[in-house]
């Protein structure tokens, strides 16, 4: 369920204070709004919001701000020596990716895409200005929606500049975006997952950017440590400054609706970037920003930190870090500077702002692109930094082409547990289209160097797209990350120039790199307890990309192997045997020994087990059986009772996995005898396969929450909105129903069927179908339809039993006209209050038949959802006869928790009505005129047994009522 809380505006409830720490302004407050929402609900909301969002164009921020700090010499905390040489790249090329695939393509309605993404243990997530996509780790799409639709449960709108990261320690996803680019309407959105699964539950928060409505929030940078999540940004509008939001990480992760924040404002830096902190003990959260590229022949960056108490963090600008290797901070006309093949139009390079920062092992890594040479640039280069926490430069490198042919820009950096690094970036050149690449550095490579770039996704065409804004935007950023599965491998997500489709297009592409390290051997066998004389197959599971394998099998034939995955190792003698694996690569050799790993026996018999792909079928249908017997059986014999079966598709009674056609409507038992080298064993499952249909009476209220587990099927021809199971109120029999959401079904005349399992109607002399339904018309001009069909040949052909749609008189609806309908109480259902009775259909024409199926078909016409539950098939007169007494009164529900409908089953009215307690006291008397049905609420009465007395046609009729 989704919960939405509107919290009083952050700065009205929160405290507002100015702190005289340099020029910082510090404020505190709370979330404006909060939403705890499942990803399924987000997807459902996207069905209505996506058509709107896809028409919205995202143009680039019209503000161009070129930052350059005026560096006070007293604020410099470290300066590289003038003899410092800045190496470039090694001749050795960075390794090829082990896998690469599409992230997200251009939807045509945004520049720049603002490329970002993250990798989790089982998922990948791509966040762009246009859309959000969740993929598995092989690149298969799991869900895609517009960026705006992801956040529709929060106030505001107009989302842009998204970023997402995965917190490896807490195993949570952190997602931020800006919303609104006008003062007063500007917000920061932040979302965190409840678990490591981004398709599970999310906690979403909205924070007003400026309660004074003077500035708006742009370009978030995201980082975290054990205490805080920090989001920084640049504030534009009637003023200009930089801001850093600091959130209590655990409060967000706990889903605290009014989660507080501390916000700092400063004019001392630009695009202050918090670190992804890979140390769950460090108290400080470090940040880095660019300073000035060239002040007196020196280039500067700035180092910052957040520290202090959890609920009272402090921001400190630690100082400037300089190098005698300067650069320019920007170049080109409005930033258009980067060359490309096939076009005279240059691609925008933005400026020298910092892109992302990583803290690991007491060190800080950061990257940005710069413009070279300083003062008269003809190219861009990637500059990366390794600092200690005091600001000392431990390493600084550049990925550059001094010839000026290639420009490298839009970088992101990741660092693994060995301090190998990967820098994702783009390559631009007049000799090629804009392409995606990365540069790798192993921890043992020469200091200050990276290996030559590897271009993993070639650009496919020239790129020029401005939406009339005058700038050929690209970026604004990219994503590189360490793999949380092993903390060693890397993922990179970069933009590239894609093939035009009418207009020029960008695309995004993933690369995954496995990084070799000293091997950590491990292995598994397909069997570890076997009959003597059997063979075993082994699988290598070594981490670290081994290059050689040395196996030793005690008691095995052969005794050794150099294969990665040796197969067919024979163990002839009885006993327990040790297996040893030694693996080697360029970093070293290690050995794994598993003592007494393989055990052989001369007496162990098969442990017989088997399963079937289905156990309820129609006559003549085929079932596939799977042998699941342990201890290496070699022979199989299947027996079916009765024997009226046919083996098909080349299988027979001696196949391991036979396919069997069941020819009669019967209840079949199945036996399997399996034999291994030591002898046979037999297992029998009695009454395993039911052929011809479910026994009656049959009931279904969907409490299992799965159609498939109950042998129901759905036909959804347009592969859009169709039958699902949802939670409902108002029933004692069930809290769930099958429903189809016409409210979000943007189609007319689409038919969807919910089909029952087969039913066996033999050996009965009366049969009825009853069900409860709930429906309210949405618009008097149209209504959806329900049709009920029956089949006596398992669904090959169908006969219509019933069809109805609302005509405005309540002949099918159970609730008056309303825009949006969910049954919440007993009066919302059929046969209780307003509108239609419950439906009973006689099935006597199909008595004596097996393989009978019922289908509920809907016809869509922009109405409210339709709900069905408590479906019953049996030799009764329907739902009412199973609830009411036989003397003419229907009490619904009974037992009841207070809400009660009292109805005359006959056509005659109730002239007088009383409810009497067990002590003879009248607790309710109807004063209304005679009518067929009364509805009341008895929840104020004591729990217990009551007697309902009704005068109908001059006769007193009584019925027992239980109030629970």
SS3 (DSSP) at 434 = strand
According to the per-residue pLDDT averaged within each range, which of 646-660, 734-748, 918-932 is highest?
646-660
Mean pLDDT, to the nearest integer, of 841-859? 96
Mean pLDDT, to the nearest integer, of 358-387? 97
Q: Is the pLDDT of residue 681 over 50?
A: yes
The encoded tokens of residue 66 equal 């070129």
Q: Point out the least confidently predicted range of 468-472, 495-499, 584-588, 877-881.
A: 877-881
Q: Point out the least confidently predicted range of 55-69, 360-374, 885-899.
A: 55-69
883 pLDDT tier (thresholds 50, 70, 90):
very low
Q: Is residue 346 within 8 Å of residue 361, measured between CB atoms?
A: no
Taking the C-alpha atoms of residue 693 and residue 315, their distance in angstroms, rounded to an integer, is: 71
Taking the C-alpha atoms of residue 342 and residue 636, their distance in angstroms, rounded to an integer, is: 68
Q: Is the pLDDT of residue 17 over 70?
A: no
The residue behind tokens 């109807």 is 926
Share of the chain above pLDDT 90, in %: 74
Q: Is the pLDDT of residue 134 over 70?
A: yes
**pLDDT score of 390:** 97
- For residue range 593-623, what is the model confidence (pLDDT) as tens digits? 999 999 999 999 999 999 999 999 999 999 9
Sign of the alpha-carbon dihedral angle for 261, 267, 269, 270: positive
**pLDDT score of 63:** 57
The encoded tokens of residue 612 equal 């079937």
Taking the C-alpha atoms of residue 163 and residue 742, their distance in angstroms, rounded to an integer, is: 34
Mean pLDDT, to the nearest integer, of 4-26? 41
How many CB atoms are located within 10 Å of the residue 208 CB? Answer: 24
Q: Point out the least confidently predicted range of 8-22, 284-298, 371-385, 529-543.
A: 8-22
Q: Point out the least confidently predicted range of 84-98, 260-274, 883-897.
A: 883-897
Q: Is the pLDDT of residue 823 over 90?
A: yes
Taking the C-alpha atoms of residue 636 and residue 681, their distance in angstroms, rounded to an integer, is: 10
Sign of the alpha-carbon dihedral angle for 626, 632, 637, 641: negative
126-132-133 Cα angle (round to 5)? 60
**pLDDT score of 921:** 67
Taking the C-alpha atoms of residue 607 and residue 628, their distance in angstroms, rounded to an integer, is: 9
Q: Is the pLDDT of residue 488 over 60?
A: yes
Size (the chain), residues: 964
- For residue range 309-341, what is the model confidence (pLDDT) as tens digits? 999 999 999 999 999 999 999 999 999 999 999
- For residue range 773-801, what is the model confidence (pLDDT) as tens digits? 999 999 888 889 999 999 999 999 999 99
Contacts of 625-630 spanning 24+ positions with Cβ under 8 A: 625/657, 625/658, 625/659, 625/660, 625/670, 626/657, 627/656, 627/657, 627/672, 627/674, 629/672, 629/674, 630/606
Mean pLDDT, to the nearest integer, of 841-863? 95
Q: Is the pLDDT of residue 22 over 90?
A: no
The encoded tokens of residue 135 equal 């993929």
**pLDDT score of 928:** 56
Q: Is the pLDDT of residue 21 over 90?
A: no
Taking the C-alpha atoms of residue 627 and residue 648, their distance in angstroms, rounded to an integer, is: 17
Q: Is the pLDDT of residue 196 over 60?
A: yes
**pLDDT score of 51:** 52
**pLDDT score of 52:** 45
**pLDDT score of 881:** 35
Share of the chain above pLDDT 70, in %: 93
Q: Point out the least confidently predicted range of 1-15, 42-56, 252-266, 442-456.
A: 1-15
Q: Point out the least confidently predicted range of 336-345, 496-505, 743-752.
A: 743-752
Question: Which residue would you say has higher pLDDT here, 48 or 474?
Answer: 474
**DSSP sequence for 685-742:** EEEEEEES-B-SSEEE--TTS-TGGGT-EEE-TTSSS--EEEE--S-SS-SEEEEE-G
Q: Is the pLDDT of residue 69 over 90?
A: no
Mean pLDDT, to the nearest integer, of 230-239? 92
Question: Which residue would you say has higher pLDDT here, 62 or 408?
Answer: 408
Q: Point out the least confidently predicted range of 59-68, 252-261, 467-476, 867-876.
A: 59-68
Taking alpha carbons only, the member of 741, 895, 896, 731 closest to residue 825 is 731
18 pLDDT tier (thresholds 50, 70, 90):
very low
**pLDDT score of 188:** 97
SS3 (DSSP) at 306 = strand
**pLDDT score of 177:** 97
**pLDDT score of 717:** 94
The mean pLDDT of the chain is 90
Question: E-assigned strands of 602-704?
Answer: 610-612, 616-617, 622-627, 635-641, 645-648, 659-662, 667-676, 679-691, 698-700
Taking alpha carbons only, the member of 383, 426, 422, 424 closest to residue 407 is 426
């Amino acid at each position: 369920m989704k919960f939405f809380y509107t919290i009083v505006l952050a700065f009205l409830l929160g405290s507002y204070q100015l702190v005289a720490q340099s020029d910082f302004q510090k404020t505190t407050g709370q979330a404006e709004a909060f939403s705890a929402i499942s990803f399924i609900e987000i997807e459902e909301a996207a069905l209505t919001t996506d058509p709107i969002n896809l028409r919205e164009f995202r143009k680039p921020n019209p503000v161009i701000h070129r930052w350059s700090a005026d560096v006070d010499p007293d604020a410099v905390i470290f300066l590289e020596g003038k003899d410092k040489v800045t190496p470039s790249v090694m001749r050795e090329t960075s390794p090829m990716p082990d896998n690469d695939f599409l992230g997200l393509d251009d939807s045509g309605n945004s520049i720049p895409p603002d490329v970002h993404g993250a990798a989790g243990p089982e998922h990948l997530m791509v966040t762009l200005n246009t859309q959000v996509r969740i993929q598995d780790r092989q690149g298969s799409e799991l869900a895609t929606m517009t960026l705006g639709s992801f956040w529709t449960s929060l106030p505001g709108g107009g989302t842009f500049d998204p970023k997402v990261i995965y917190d490896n320690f807490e195993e949570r996803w952190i997602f931020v975006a800006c919303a609104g680019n006008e003062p007063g309407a500007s917000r920061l959105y932040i979302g965190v997952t409840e678990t490591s699964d981004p398709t599970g539950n999310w906690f979403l928060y909205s924070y007003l950017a400026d309660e004074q409505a003077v500035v708006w929030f742009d370009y978030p940078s995201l980082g975290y440590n054990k205490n805080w999540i920090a989001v920084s940004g640049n504030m534009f509008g009637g003023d200009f400054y930089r801001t850093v939001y600091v959130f209590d990480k655990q409060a967000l992760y706990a889903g605290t609706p009014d989660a507080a924040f501390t916000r700092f404002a400063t004019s001392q830096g630009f695009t202050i970037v918090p670190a992804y902190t890979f140390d769950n003990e460090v108290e400080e959260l470090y940040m880095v920003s660019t300073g000035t590229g060239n002040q007196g022949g020196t280039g500067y960056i700035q180092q910052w930190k957040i520290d202090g108490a959890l609920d009272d963090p402090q921001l400190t600008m630690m100082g400037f870090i300089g190098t005698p290797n300067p650069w320019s901070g920007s170049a080109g006309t409005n930033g258009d500077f980067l060359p490309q093949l096939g076009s005279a139009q240059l691609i925008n390079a933005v400026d020298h702002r910092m892109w992302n920062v990583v803290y690991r092992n007491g060190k800080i890594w950061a990257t940005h692109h710069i413009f070279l040479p300083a003062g008269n640039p003809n190219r861009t280069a990637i500059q990366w930094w390794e600092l200690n926490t005091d600001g000392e430069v431990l390493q600084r490198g550049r990925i550059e082409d001094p010839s000026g042919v290639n420009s490298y820009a839009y970088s992101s950096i990741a660092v693994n547990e060995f301090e190998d690094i990967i820098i994702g970036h783009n390559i631009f050149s007049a000799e090629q289209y804009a392409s995606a690449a990365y540069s790798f550095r192993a921890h043992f490579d020469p200091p200050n160097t990276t290996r030559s770039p590897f271009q993993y996704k070639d650009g496919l065409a020239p790129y020029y797209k401005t939406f009339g804004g005058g700038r050929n935007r690209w970026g604004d950023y990219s994503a590189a990350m360490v793999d949380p599965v092993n903390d060693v491998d890397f993922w990179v997500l970069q933009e590239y120039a894609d093939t035009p489709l009418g207009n020029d297009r960008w695309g995004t592409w993933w690369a995954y790199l496995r990084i070799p390290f000293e091997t950590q051997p491990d292995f598994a066998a397909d069997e570890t307890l076997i009959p003597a004389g059997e063979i075993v197959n082994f699988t290598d599971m070594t981490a670290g990309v081994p290059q050689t394998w040395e196996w030793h099998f005690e008691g095995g034939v052969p005794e050794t192997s150099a294969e990665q995955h040796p197969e067919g190792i024979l163990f002839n003698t009885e006993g327990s045997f040790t297996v040893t694996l030694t693996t080697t690569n360029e970093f070293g050799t290690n050995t794994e020994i598993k003592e007494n790993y393989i055990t052989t026996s001369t007496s162990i018999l098969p442990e017989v087990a088997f399963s079937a792909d289905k156990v309820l079928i129609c006559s003549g249908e085929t079932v596939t059986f799977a042998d699941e017997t342990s201890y290496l059986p070699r022979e199989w014999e299947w027996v079916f009772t009765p024997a009226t079966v046919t083996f098909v598709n080349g299988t027979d009674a001696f196949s391991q996995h036979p396919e069997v056609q069941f020819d009669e409507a019967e209840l079949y038992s199945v036996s399997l005898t399996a034999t291994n080298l030591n002898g046979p064993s037999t297992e029998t499952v009695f009454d395993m396969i039911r052929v011809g249909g479910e026994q009656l009476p049959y009931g279904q209220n969907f409490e299992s929450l799965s159609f498939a587990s109950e042998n129901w099927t759905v036909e959804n021809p347009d592969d859009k909105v169709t039958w699902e199971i949802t939670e409902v109120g108002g029933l004692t029999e069930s809290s769930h129903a099958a429903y189809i959401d016409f409210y979000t079904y943007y189609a007319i005349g689409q038919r969807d069927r919910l089909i029952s399992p087969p039913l066996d109607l033999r050996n009965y002399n009366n049969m009825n179908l009853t069900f409860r339904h709930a429906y309210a018309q949405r618009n008097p001009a149209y209504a959806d339809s329900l049709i009920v069909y029956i089949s006596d040949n398992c669904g090959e052909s169908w006969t219509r039993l019933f069809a109805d749609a609302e005509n405005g008189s309540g002949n099918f609806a159970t609730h008056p006209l309303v825009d949006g309908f969910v049954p919440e109480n007993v009066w919302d259902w059929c046969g209780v209050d307003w509108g239609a009775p419950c439906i009973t259909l006689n099935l006597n024409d199909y008595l004596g038949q097996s393989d009978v199926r019922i289908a509920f078909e809907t016809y869509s016409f922009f109405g409210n959802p339709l709900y069905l539950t408590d479906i019953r098939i049996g030799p009764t007169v329907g739902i009412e006869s199973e609830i009411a007494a036989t003397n003419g009164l229907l009490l619904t529900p009974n037992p009841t928790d207070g809400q009660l409908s009292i109805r005359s089953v006959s056509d005659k009215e109730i002239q007088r009505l009383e409810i009497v307690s067990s002590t003879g006291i009248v607790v309710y008397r109807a004063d209304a005129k005679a009518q067929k049905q009364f509805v009341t609420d008895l929840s104020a009465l004591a729990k217990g047994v009551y007697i309902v007395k009704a005068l109908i046609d001059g006769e007193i009729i009584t019925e027992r009522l239980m109030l629970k």
